[in-house]
Amino acid sequence: MIAITGANGQLGKLVVKGLLNVIPADEIIAAVRNPEKSDDLRALGVQVREADYDRPETLLKAFEGVDKVLLISAVVPGERLRQHKAAISAAKQAGVGVLAYTSMLRADTSRMTLAVEHRETERYLKDSGLDFIILRNGWYLENNTGALIPAIEQGAIIGSAGQGRFASAARADYAAAAVSVLTHPGHTNKTYELAGDESFSMSEFAEAVSKQVGRTIAYNDMPPTKYESILLSFGLPKIIVDVIIDADVKSLSGELNSSSNDLSQLIGRSTTTLSDAIQAALTVQPAVPPKEGLPVIEIVTFTLKPSVTAAQFILVDRLIEAEYVSKCPGFLSRESAPGPNNTWLAIIHWQSVGSADASMKGIVTAPGADKLMSMIVPESMGMTLYGW
Ligand SMILES: NC(=O)c1ccc[n+]([C@@H]2O[C@H](COP(=O)([O-])OP(=O)(O)OC[C@H]3O[C@@H](n4cnc5c(N)ncnc54)[C@H](OP(=O)(O)O)[C@@H]3O)[C@@H](O)[C@H]2O)c1
């Protein structure tokens, strides 16, 4: 039995789904703070148990009969060490065989503020006598891509990271690493430095975004005090703002960069590229994804720039259809037409979700794609898949 704590969270759900590809559902326990929020996990066939870091009695019960625990680090700085200690003690008391913990990059030496509680947790875990696996996760690509749409609307990405480099990877990569160490032998009492295969500066991030949206999105570097006041004006809590500023400032001395290839080695593939992460963030996902293997209908809507006429756009649209979309594997049919106020609609039928996704990923390099993107108001672009 493998229990995943924080399983209602984004990383936890990815780990549970990844485990389902490797072990039966009845060997997986989603250990969550709020079981009433876990209908989607129950629908996957896994067992849901209450496990609140602030209520140790729930942790002990959640870990009953469990061989391996993945302790996903808690959320609130300042509270986390106490919460992690409660989970580790409960695992020890319940007779868990091995506890894997999601720490942070070079937690033993890092000067980032967040590292302190991770370092202390690692020490507590090692001192507990439990067998351990330490997954020192680097920064998530989603930390950058999560706020992309408003940044594009503003025409700029802001920060205080200067030329600091981020060897970030996608949550899905870190989840795959957790699945790998939990389901394969040979990882006990090891520590992994997990980071993306490539690093980028914030200027390079802005350049990659500009390329995909077809217009310049600048990176505006600013003093930390100015960045802080802007983040606070967005309504972000001070405790979170402090973490963001600290990360940017410490990135200047390389704290979020790494040349470790532990992550790609554990997952047996390259880590998610910055460009794929940007593309995923710009693609609106349906609330209920259609099932793989069944036909889907892709609806794409957007608005042409005021200077672009329907007659000009149709030429580029037809070129993309003839030279790229219709040649993609799984293509069934496509139609497109103008609507009111320079809006445009395209309806594409695909044999499966996979074929629709693959075509979307490749479109950036398709002939005429640059021209097409330059004619569209970037933030007006919406894509939804419909299917059963
Ligand atoms: N490497 C990075 O860049 C990065 C970025 C952000 C966070 N992190 C760390 O990585 C962890 C996982 O990331 P994520 O994206 O999955 O975060 P997330 O989506 O916010 O999920 C965190 C989960 O922790 C649960 N949780 C919070 N307090 C708890 C408690 N007292 N007892 C039990 N569970 C509790 C939450 O439960 P509810 O669903 O009930 O709220 C939530 O499901 C975070 O918690 C944080 O430590 C890393």
**202 C-alpha to ligand 1 centroid (Å):** 25
Three-state SS letters, 190-238: EEEEECCCCCEEHHHHHHHHHHHHCCCCEEEECCHHHHHHHHHHCCCCH
pLDDT single digits (tens) 340-353: 989 999 999 999 98
Tens-place pLDDT, residues 51-71 = 999 999 999 999 999 999 999
Confidence check: pLDDT of 288 > 60:
no
Q: What is the pLDDT of residues 102-117, one digit of tens each?
A: 999 999 999 999 999 9
Instruction: Out of 137, 153, 172, pick the residue that ends a domain.
Output: 137
Give which of 376, 373, 384, 300 is closest to 342, Cα–Cα. 376
What average pLDDT score do residues 59-88 get? 97
Distance CA(35)–CA(15), nearest Å, equals 17
Q: Look at residues 83, 105, 137 and tell me which one is the last residue of a structural domain.
A: 137
Flag whether 301 is in a domain.
Answer: yes
Confidence of residue 289 (pLDDT cuts 50, 70, 90): low
**16 Cα: distance to centroid of ligand 1 (angstroms):** 14
Residues 21-28: what's their mean pLDDT? 96
What's 23's DSSP letter?
S
Q: pLDDT of 154-176, one tens digit each?
A: 788 999 999 999 999 999 999 99
Instruction: Count other Cβ atoms within 10 Å, centred on residue 357.
Output: 19
| pLDDT tens per residue across span 171-222 | 999 999 999 999 999 999 999 999 999 999 999 999 999 988 888 889 999 9
Residue 339 has pLDDT above 70, yes or no: yes
Residue 346, in any domain of the structure: yes
pLDDT higher than 80, residue 379: no
Task: Copy the structure tokens of residue 308.
Answer: 């672009």
Q: Give the total number of structural domains in the chain.
A: 2
Q: Which of 11, 82, 117 to mutate to test the pocket of ligand 1 (most atoms within 8 A of CB)?
A: 11
Nearest CA to ligand 1 atom 10: 73
Average pLDDT, the chain: 92
pLDDT value for 152: 78
**Residue 341: per-residue pLDDT:** 87
Are the C-beta atoms of residues 170 and 273 closer than 8 Å to each other? no
Distance CA 290, CA 2 (A): 28
What is d(CA 162, CA 164) in angstroms, rounded to the nearest whole number? 6
Read off the pTM. 0.78
Q: Which domain holds residue 350?
A: 296-387
- The H or E element spanning position 345 is strand 343-350
pLDDT band for position 366 (50/70/90)?
confident
148, β-bridge pairs: none
Centre of ligand 1 from the C-alpha of residue 193, in Å? 20
Shortest-distance atom of ligand 1 to CA 168:
3
Query: Does residue 362 fall inside a structural domain?
Result: yes
Q: How far is the CA of 65 from the centre of ligand 1 (A)?
A: 24
What CATH number did the domain enclosing 357 receive? 3.30.70.100
pLDDT at 151: 81
Q: Using 50, 70 and 90 to split pLDDT, how confident is the model at 247? A: very high
Instruction: Locate the ligand 1 atom nearest the alpha carbon of residue 34 and give its number.
Output: 40
Q: Count CB atoms within 10 A of the CB of residue 244.
A: 18
What span, in angstroms and rounded, lies between the C-alpha atoms of 283 and 285? 6
In a domain, 251, yes or no: no
Is 336 inside a domain boundary?
Answer: yes
Is residue 165 included in any domain, yes or no?
no
Among residues 227, 251, 222, which one has the least CA distance to residue 163?
Answer: 251
**Contact between residue 137 and residue 105 where contact means Cβ atoms under 8 Å apart:** yes
Mean pLDDT for the stretch of residues 29-58: 96
- β-strand partners of 48: 30
Q: Cβ–Cβ contacts within 10 Å for residue 306, how many? A: 9
Q: How far is the CA of 9 from the centre of ligand 1 (A)?
A: 6
Higher-confidence position of 375 and 287: 375
Are 310 and 304 contacting, i.e. CB atoms less than 8 angstroms apart? yes
Q: Which residues line ligand 1 (CB under 6 A)?
A: 6, 8-12, 33-34, 37, 51-54, 72-75, 83, 102, 137, 139-140, 143, 171
Give the distance (Å) from ligand 1 centre to CA of residue 48. 17
Cβ(4)–Cβ(31) under 8 Å? yes
Q: Which atom of ligand 1 is nearest to the CA of 104?
A: 1
> Tokens 């980028």 map to which residue?
200
Instruction: Tell me the average pLDDT across 355-377.
Output: 83
Distance (angstroms) between ligand 1 centre and the Cα of 58 equals 17
Last residue of a domain, one of 78, 106, 137: 137
Alpha-carbon span 160 to 201, nearest angstrom: 11
pLDDT confidence bin for 149, thresholds 50/70/90: confident
Considering only residues 362 and 125, tell me which one the structure prediction assigns the higher pLDDT: 125
Average pLDDT over residues 252-281: 95
Residue bearing the CA closest to ligand 1, atom 43: 9
User: CATH no. for residue 77?
Assistant: 3.40.50.720
Residue 5, beta-bridge partner list: 31
- C-alpha–C-alpha distance, residues 114 and 240, integer Å: 11
Which ranges of 44-159 would DSSP assign to H, the alpha helix? 56-62, 80-94, 115-128, 142-145, 148-154
Q: Is residue 239 part of a domain?
A: no
What is the percent of the chain with per-residue pLDDT over 70, rounded to a whole number? 98
- How long a stretch of residues is the chain? 388
Query: Does any domain span residue 119?
Result: yes
